[in-house]
Structure 1
Amino acid sequence: MRNIFCETLVKCATNPKLVFLSGDLGYKALEPLQESLGERFINAGVAEQNMVSAAAGLAQEGFQPWVYSIAPFVYARPFEQIRNDVCMHDLPVRLVGNGGGYGYGVMGATHHALEDYGTMLCLSNMHVFVPAFAADVPEIINQLTNFEHPAYLRLGRCEKPKDLELPKYSSWRRLMRGKGATILVVGPLAGSILEAAKQLSECDRPDIWVLTELPIEAAKIPKDFLDDLQKSRHLFVVEEHVAQGSVGQIIAHCLLKMNCAPPQFTHRHALGYVSGLYGSQNFHRQECGLDAANLVRELKRNTRLSYPARGGLKLTSG
């Protein structure tokens, strides 16, 4: 996704208000953008707090700043500056974190972003964008070009199946129809889940939805999603983020308030470091049960069950 992000911003470089700040990152990736922007491409060095405060000042003066770094260095290290300088003043600073979830693999916990969008959504005026596919990135950038509020964009590795024809971009999109559970996926995991779900029988195959923009607003949850949920009676949320502050918690809260909670709710999320070891992104996903093979096995075990009309809400997490 980083490459398509760079290519799209290069096309926006004629906008004299666009300023790009990098935390000493982007080697062999962002050179075309640096060439296009000239002095409006700023290497702020390993000084993320200063970088965010400078971006807030640029936004205050009418510029359109983009702030880029490895995800935890763009939301965790300068958290106070994001809170005080950007969000409290509702300034349109666009924070871009590369390598969401376990994306940086063997580089370890300091480079992993497992609580990023939950942390950002605690701040006033903040909006979050989590593209599932590389094709989502230009659409999101087009939105952010004239966005008037703080925003966090989480980039990852596109895992789109080669033969998948994506529906038109939207915050909520249905990617597969089935007779099994209703799956809500956040981020690139959607691609591998889709590929694996094709092998399931019709009765096991889930309705798969992908969510790209946060926070969730109850009034904007699609009626088609709620209809799918009413039929399946099982919501299965999958995300590469810890449970606290997650989409699983947010959607459960919304559905309970709407009196639309399904009888069965399953949440698969990041568990941190189960074995205490570091490895590839796939290694960590497998430890957390977030890999496609584990998820498909669970879907088969949980194929549509019969619930009494007034049965209690069944919860599973991990």
Structure 2
Amino acid sequence: MSAATAAPVTTAASALLTDPQRPADQRERFYRLLPELLADDPRAVALLADIGAGYVDLPPSVADRVLNLGIREQLLVSAAGGLALTGLRPIVHTFAPFLVERPYEQLKLDLGHQDAGAVLVSAGASYDMAGAGETHFGSRDVGLLDTLDGWTVHVPGHADEAETLIRAALPVDDRVYVRLSGASNARPLGTGPEMTVLRRGTRGTVVAVGPLADRVLTAVADLDVTVLYAATVRPFDAHTLVATLTEPDVVLVEPYLAGTSVPQVSDALAGIRHRVLGLGVGRAELRRYGTPAEHDRAHGLDVPGIRRSVAAFLS
């Protein structure tokens, strides 16, 4: 296919997506779901930047509504803005740093300033592609979107949640970001917009975001804390946080830049003396690529790291 002419994608699905012995992760579920979304909604059009082009099996009836623009991420978002202004509903997909960081100006102007809507679906999370290095690390995405107005941000923790959230985003016309990850909880826990109460305690609250919920529950198993689960982080569910609060000590465990949602917690608890600890991906660049598990350990996002941080904070 020619990126210069934005040719429709017509490739067959890879063996990876058709292996019945291997459960689909969030990204794979999206590729399987995409043809159905296009068939069900005549407004839907998918825009790719090479990523995913070899994994989508498209029937002829929808193939002309999937465009591969090549590795031109600014054009990817600009084209989405233009298509949205014609009444179409763009689904825009590539890795997180290429979808949010590289075309940030286009997100600000071609979608935000024009008040145009789109569904942005990223892959790779913070360091799923650890072997590819810093170019493919996406920990800053939610923080960058926080500088823009009017974005709904979903961080599903399971493929079922991802499908539900993507389906729900299509019929409307707003700006939605769905952050897909290779990590997963064992089962779906909720899709919001309200946070799910996973357990109740008296010594503080831990907010577990997306695919980190299972780790958080294991880490705090013997601690007397409330655990809330968030698959939708923007808008932030201040109501559930306040309604379930015991001690005004809150720990956020997020799979992107540490402290990203600390301002939202502080706003929710304005007027209440409180403490908040934001756990997540550290700001220091790790130049040894390693594996996702090694990055989790280095950032304190594995079970022992989360437990150490929560126990020390609440002590």
Q: Using the alignment, how far apart are the partners of 1:287 and 1:247 within structure 2? A: 21
The alignment's C-alpha RMSD in Å is 2.4
8 A contact 2:191–2:231 mirrored in 1: no
Report the residue type matching 2:257 in the other structure: V
Aligned partners of 1:132 and 1:210 also within 8 Å: no
C-alpha separation between the residues in 2 aligned to 1:124 and 1:233? 29
CA distance in 2, matches of 1:195, 1:58: 45
Match of 2:197 in 1: 174
1:270 pairs with 2:281: yes
1:63 aligns with 2:82: no
Cα deviations across residues 25-56 of structure 1 (Å, max 9, x unaligned)? Answer: 11553x22576621111111011111111111
Quote the Cα distance in structure 2 between the aligned partners of 1:34 and 1:180: 55
Distance 1:61 1:212 in 2: 31
> What's the offset of the Cα at 1:212?
2.5
**Cα drift, residue 69 of structure 1:** 0.4
Task: Indicate how the Cα distance of structure 1 residues 216 and 165 shifts in structure 2: closer, same or farther if over 3 A, else same.
Answer: closer
1:60-99 equivalent positions in 2, closer than 5 A = 60-99=85-124
- Aligned-residue offset at 1:169: 4.8
CA contact (8 A) 1:134 1:158 kept: no
The amino acid that maps onto 1:156 is S
- The residue aligned with 1:233 is 248
Counterpart amino acid of residue 212 in structure 1: A
For 1:22, the equivalent position in structure 2 comes to 48
Cα deviation code 1:207-226 (max 9, x no counterpart): 21122224345xx5234x32
- 1:183 Cα shift? 0.5
| Whole-Å separation in 2 of the counterparts to 1:167 and 1:152 | 17
Provide the aligned length of Structure 1 versus Structure 2: 289
Q: Bigger shift: 270-279 or 137-146?
A: 270-279
TM-score normalised over the length of structure 1? 0.82
Give the distance between the partners of 1:107 and 1:271, measured in 2 at CA: 18
Contact 2:91 2:119 survives alignment (8 Å): yes
State the match for 1:126 in structure 2.
Answer: 151
CA contact (8 A) 1:52 1:67 kept: yes
Once the two structures are overlaid, the 10-residue window that deviates more, 289-298 or 83-92, is: 289-298
Q: Which stretch shows the higher mean deviation, 111-120 or 8-17? A: 8-17
8 Å Cα contact 1:83-1:123 kept in structure 2 = yes
Deviations, residues 278-298 of structure 1 (Å, cap 9, x unaligned): 221221221121111111233
Q: Distance in 2 between matches of 1:3 and 1:275?
A: 28
Aligned to 1:251: 265
Name the residue aligned to 1:3.
28
Q: 2:228 is matched with which residue? A: 209
**Secondary structure of 1:110 counterpart:** helix
Partner of 1:284: 295
Identity value in percent: 26
Classify 1:12/1:27 alpha carbon distance in 2 versus 1 (closer, same or farther; 3 Å). closer
Q: How far, CA to CA, are the matches of 1:212 and 1:159 in structure 2? A: 12
Gaps of at least 5 residues in structure 1 are 306-318
Asked if structure 1 preserves the Cα contact closer than 8 Å seen for 2:156 and 2:191, the reply is no
| Cα pair distance change 1:302/1:75, threshold 3 Å | closer
Alpha-carbon spacing, 1:72–1:36, altered in 2? closer, same or farther (3 Å): farther
Counterpart among 159, 163, 175 of residue 184 in structure 2: 159
Amino acid aligned to 1:249: P
Does residue 148 of structure 1 match 2:162? no
The CA deviation string for residues 227-285 of structure 1, in whole angstroms up to 9 with x for no partner, is 432x23321111122246x11232223322xx2343x3222121134654222122122
What's the counterpart of residue 6 of structure 2? none
Q: CA deviation at 1:109?
A: 1.3
SS of match in other structure, 1:183: strand
User: Which amino acid counterpart does residue 287 of structure 1 have in structure 2?
Assistant: A
Offset at residue 118 of structure 1 (A): 1.2
Contact 2:201–2:225 (CA<8 Å) still a contact in 1?
yes
Deviation string 1:82-132 (CA, Å, 9 cap, x unpaired) is 111111111111112111122221211111111101101211222211112
